[in-house]
Amino acid sequence: MTTGIGARIERKEDRRLLTGQAKFVGDIKLPRQWEAAFVRSPVAHGRIRAIRKPEGMADRVFTAADLSDIHPIRAESSLPTYNASDQYPLAKDKVRFVGECVALCIAPTRAEAEDLAEQVEIEIDPLPPVIDALKAREADAPLLHEEWGNNLFLTTFFDGDIETLRKTAPVVVEREYSTARQCMNPMEGKGTLAHWDEKAGQLVVYTSTQVPHLIRTGISECLGLDQGQVRVIAPDVGGGFGYKCVLQPEELSVSWVARKTGRPIRWTEDRREHLVAGANTRQHHYKLTAFADERGRLLGLDAEITVDVGAYSVWPFTACLEAAQAGGNLPGPYDFGTYRCHTFSVATNKPAFTPYRGVARPGVCFAMELTIDAIARAVGREPSEVRKENLVPAGKMPFTNVTKKFYDSGDYPESVAQVERHIGLAGFRARQQKARAEGRFLGIGFSTFTEQSAHGTKVFAAWGLPLVPGYEQAMVKITPSGSVEVRSGNHSFGQGLETTLAQVASEWLTVDTSRINVTMGDTGVTPYSTGAYASRGMVMAGGAVSKAAEVLAGRVKTHAAHLLQCTPDDIRLADGKAWFGNAHVGFEDIARAWYLRPDQLPDDVETAGLEVTEGYKPAIDTGVFTYATHGAIVEVDPDTGMVSIEDYYIFEDCGRRVNPMILEGQAFGGATQGIGTALFEEVLYDANGQPLTSTLADYVLPGPAELPHFRLGHAETLSPYTRHGIKGVGEGAAIAPGGAIVNAINDALTPFGIEINAIPATPEKVLGAILRAGTLREASG
């Protein structure tokens, strides 16, 4: 059986991950290692008056005053109106959210470090907190960063002729939507272990990250070290989702203290720290006005998007990537001509916003998909018909949309038709009527999106980021025993990249993936890579491995031709061997000749050897667009407000599927997180900015009993612009569930004459709306 591209093979990494053999930061133990615990701000906003270390503990407790030579995290942006923030790894002068690090304490064990942290006294003069992003925009709001004169990291404006439409459009639909603040909750929290390696002259930082090469740059710049003096190693990483793709203040302070004390120092984030200081994503507010004709054909959209960004601008993605993506991606897969959009990236007294799986699109998809259904209701048509008519038709591909996104390929309306068929829309309305007569409320909802994956250099540059991802490199080599090594500076934290990169190498070299070893995540031994985010891993690292493996296959053929007495063009690779007709030599023979018995090779031997590093850039730099439609059938219990998902169907197209099984796993995991967004997850604050959801008893994640049996279908429209036609897919399934599920809820609630326009749609929210609507309105149809 081939193990190349398209093979449904088990993951190489699963044996160690499933049998407890994996090695996370928490599993590493170095001689003389101590543990760190942080003193974190107990107030949302305040001025630090004093920090007092316990008696005799000056060399075990560190504050901003100790770290005076460290540069703050400052993410610059080239976008006009942008305000940058300085985030000191240990708060200096002011604290701006509950959970912000104020002091770092070290001790032989974590429990002792926490005992020490309790004894540190901090005096803070409280300032009025800014909790509501809409109020934070007002002129008299308290200021987080006084020097700005407002609370706006960034405002953007995309203009369109909305005023004409307002006078002429037959149908106008106005809505406000909101999405809750969330925590990403990877199973493994953040963790960092740093020590100074005297022999190498390097600070070695083991850290749970998606972007080891970026973190090396960040640590070097903030600590004033040459990049050669820093080695970052991401060992096994238990989930990232974006949480681990930015430079974290803890990475800096732990590194600084390790260097200062000469002792290995580790910090392991616990769940409470995560739920408080990691409450950093998804919170959007939308004011939308959609203009349509009598059939529901979308003519234009006027949008105001407010993103609750929190206190600081993360490096390198800034506080503004979210709003930039929201404004750019709101029109999504739809074909319409007029668009106006204001975005506001607002500073509040909450943890610094970090992009989470789907980046802005779960919010925009929710807003857009609910709007499509609202238009359909306004014109009295089946929402899925209106949806299909508004999507970019296949005949227009490739298509440049109103925000100049270049959609490379696909058949968007067909993805809706596929879900209609598989979820049984045709028979559903009759079933729904019958159920209503029995007092049961069923609803059906759809949600379609495009996912810009592997967006390239120009796209990131246009977002004004301080650090622009470039082109990806990878190394592939044959070992002296004929097995294969792949090295990539990208990283795998659950997406199965260790397997899929091996499959790409196997595609060219025909060696079984069991004989292909993939090394990632260590800046000391891998080619530079900007890392794993933005659904770029498979396209970019896969492309680089493909190119390197292709060149290496050519070298293998050259050496094989010497051994088989023919020309390289005569050689065919199959089953991990080089064939000339029926004669063959194995990779082990070729490797032995090159490494151990070069005397067997001719004088004019190709000396470049059996090790190749190649770089890759897709033919276009604007990203390739995966798309999908999700469909849900739900039942709402009008007495309890509980929503149960009866059926869930996903139809997606991500181009060439490198490993269909991994892709299905990505879809299940992503959709599960999307269901969390739709129905469960919500960080709540009181009026003082105190988080009310600091344990998993309060912050509710969906569990197995809350999930439907996901069903999946696929199309494979190859991208014309990438190696093997691959498109990125890692984030996709997390995007659509909010739209599909809440559209289904609203469909079910039609007889009550109410809509849910905020997620999560908790029982309290749904039941509250039903109770407020009063008695059941007679169903009109």
Partner 1 sequence: MKPSPFEISCPGSLDAAHKALHENPRGTRIISGGQSLGPMLNLRLARPSRLVDVTGLSGLAEIRQTDSHVEIGAAVTHARIEDGEVPDPIPGMLRHVAAGIAYRAVRNRGTIGGSLCHADPAADWVTAMTALGATLLVRDGSGGAREIPMSGFMLGAYRTSMAEDEILTTVRVPRHSDRARWGYYKICRKVGEFADAIAGFVADPESRVCRVVFGSTGGAPLVSTELAQQIATTGAVPPLDTVKTVLRDSGLTLSDVKIHQLAIAHSRAVTEALSDA
Contact positions vs partner 1 (CB under 8 A): 109-111, 114-115, 118, 270-272, 639-642, 680, 695, 697, 700, 702-703, 705-706, 762-764, 767-768, 771
Angle, helices 542-564/497-509, rounded to nearest 10 degrees: 30
Q: By C-beta, is 480 or 768 nearer to partner 1?
A: 768
Q: With residue 487 as reference, give the H or E element that holds it.
A: strand 484-488
Q: By C-beta, is 326 or 645 nearer to partner 1?
A: 645
- Find the shortest distance in angstroms from Cβ 706 to partner 1: 6
- Find the shortest distance in angstroms from Cβ 116 to partner 1: 12
End-to-end CA distance of the chain: 57
Angle, helices 425-437/412-423, rounded to nearest 10 degrees: 50
> Considering only CA atoms, which of 277, 326, 310, 342 is closest in space to residue 133?
310
SS3 call for 391: strand
- Find the shortest distance in angstroms from Cβ 697 to partner 1: 7
- Find the shortest distance in angstroms from Cβ 631 to partner 1: 24
Q: By C-beta, is 386 or 756 nearer to partner 1?
A: 756
Q: By C-beta, is 751 or 763 nearer to partner 1?
A: 763
φ/ψ region of 433 (left if φ > 0, alpha if ψ in -120 to 50, else beta) reads alpha
Beta-carbon contacts of 522 under 8 Å, excluding residues fewer than 6 positions away, are 212, 231, 232, 233, 234
Q: By C-beta, is 433 or 695 nearer to partner 1?
A: 695
Show the tokens assigned to 597: 């018995």
- Residue holding tokens 């990475």? 251
- Find the shortest distance in angstroms from Cβ 742 to partner 1: 17
- Find the shortest distance in angstroms from Cβ 322 to partner 1: 28
- Find the shortest distance in angstroms from Cβ 764 to partner 1: 5
- Find the shortest distance in angstroms from Cβ 109 to partner 1: 8
Contact 270, 364 (CB under 8 A): no
> Considering only CA atoms, which of 326, 348, 330, 352 is closest in space to residue 339?
330
Task: State the Cα–Cα distance between residues 681 and 689, nearest whole angstrom.
Answer: 18
| Cβ-based burial of 293 (10 A; exposed 0-12, middle 13-18, buried ≥19) | middle
Q: By C-beta, is 317 or 680 nearer to partner 1?
A: 680
Q: By C-beta, is 35 or 522 nearer to partner 1?
A: 35
Beta-carbon contacts of 298 under 8 Å, excluding residues fewer than 6 positions away, are 290, 291, 292, 334, 336, 372, 375, 390
Q: By C-beta, is 160 or 760 nearer to partner 1?
A: 760
Show the tokens assigned to 764: 């309290």
Task: State the Cα–Cα distance between residues 354 and 244, nearest whole angstrom.
Answer: 9
Give the other-Cβ count within 10 Å of 460's Cβ: 21
Q: By C-beta, is 79 or 265 nearer to partner 1?
A: 265
Amino acid identity for residue 547 in this structure: K
Beta-carbon contacts of 668 under 8 Å, excluding residues fewer than 6 positions away, are 710, 733
Q: By C-beta, is 355 or 641 nearer to partner 1?
A: 641
Q: By C-beta, is 255 or 762 nearer to partner 1?
A: 762
- Find the shortest distance in angstroms from Cβ 117 to partner 1: 10
- Find the shortest distance in angstroms from Cβ 540 to partner 1: 38
Q: By C-beta, is 407 or 648 nearer to partner 1?
A: 648
Q: By C-beta, is 609 or 763 nearer to partner 1?
A: 763
Show the tokens assigned to 628: 């999908």
Q: By C-beta, is 221 or 706 nearer to partner 1?
A: 706
Task: State the Cα–Cα distance between residues 118 and 102, nearest whole angstrom.
Answer: 12
**DSSP-derived secondary structure letter, 702:** P
Q: By C-beta, is 687 or 697 nearer to partner 1?
A: 697
Q: By C-beta, is 110 or 342 nearer to partner 1?
A: 110
Q: How far is CA 627 from CA 74, 179, 297, 407, 432, in A?
A: 35, 22, 21, 10, 29
Q: Give me the phi and psi of 207, to 5 degrees please.
A: -145, 150
- Find the shortest distance in angstroms from Cβ 773 to partner 1: 12
- Find the shortest distance in angstroms from Cβ 753 to partner 1: 18
Give the other-Cβ count within 10 Å of 287's Cβ: 16
Give every strand in the sheet of 583-586, ordered side by side. Answer: 572-574, 577-580, 583-586
> Considering only CA atoms, which of 6, 3, 101 is closest in space to residue 718?
6
- Find the shortest distance in angstroms from Cβ 26 to partner 1: 13
Task: State the Cα–Cα distance between residues 296 and 287, nearest whole angstrom.
Answer: 19
Peptide bond into 264 cis (omega under 30): no
- Find the shortest distance in angstroms from Cβ 679 to partner 1: 9
Task: State the Cα–Cα distance between residues 386 and 379, nearest whole angstrom.
Answer: 9
Task: State the Cα–Cα distance between residues 737 and 94, nearest whole angstrom.
Answer: 39
DSSP string, 97-162: STT-EEEEEEESSHHHHHHHHHH-EEEEEE------HHHHTSTTS--SSGGGSSSEEEEEEE---H
- Find the shortest distance in angstroms from Cβ 518 to partner 1: 35
- Find the shortest distance in angstroms from Cβ 762 to partner 1: 7
- Find the shortest distance in angstroms from Cβ 680 to partner 1: 7
Amino acid identity for residue 244 in this structure: K
Q: By C-beta, is 470 or 763 nearer to partner 1?
A: 763
DSSP string, 341-359: EEEEEEE-SSPPP---TTT
Show the tokens assigned to 166: 């307002």
Q: By C-beta, is 1 or 697 nearer to partner 1?
A: 697
- Find the shortest distance in angstroms from Cβ 346 to partner 1: 30
